Amino acid sequence: MDASVAEAAAAAGAMGLFIKTLNLVITTDSTCVAAVKAIRVIALSASALPQASAGIDAVVCTLRRLKKSSEFAEAACKTLGIYMRCSVTRDRALRAGADFAITVTAAAHRGKDAKVKKAAKDALQDPQA
């Protein structure tokens, strides 16, 4: 998804669809991975800012449920990293416990999956200027 498509998707309210997908308990890991990746792309658009808190909460809650899935853990850390490194959304992410969720996920995958470890490390970097 490129920037213009992400902006249009955010303006049309697509973020809500992906958030609802994460809140479904019956979804498969692959469905959740696709939803969290879509949230990550849409989160980069200015139109998605009003839904930042809902996006962060949905990803953090789903990460707690699926933290053992390496593929989901990596995608979730990358998505939360978008929120953590953006100065506009960092405070919201910290209040939602994104930093704690990322740290716990990294610890759970220590020695098992280098991709999750790298995604977690990148997510916890200081915000962009």
Residue ranges covered by each domain of the chain: 3-123
Query: Predicted confidence band at 5 (pLDDT cuts at 50, 70, 90)?
Result: low
67-100 residue pLDDT tens: 889 999 999 999 999 999 888 889 999 999 999 9
C-alpha–C-alpha distance, residues 2 and 13, integer Å: 17
Tell me which residue of 13, 67, 20 sits closest to 42, measured CA to CA.
13
Q: Is 25 helix (H, G, I), strand (E, B) or coil?
A: coil
Query: Predicted confidence band at 23 (pLDDT cuts at 50, 70, 90)?
Result: confident
Task: Give exposure, 4-36, as e/b (b: 16+ Cβ within 10 Å).
Answer: eebbebbeeebbeebbebbeeeebeeeebbebb
pLDDT tops 70 at residue 128? no
* DSSP state at residue 129: -
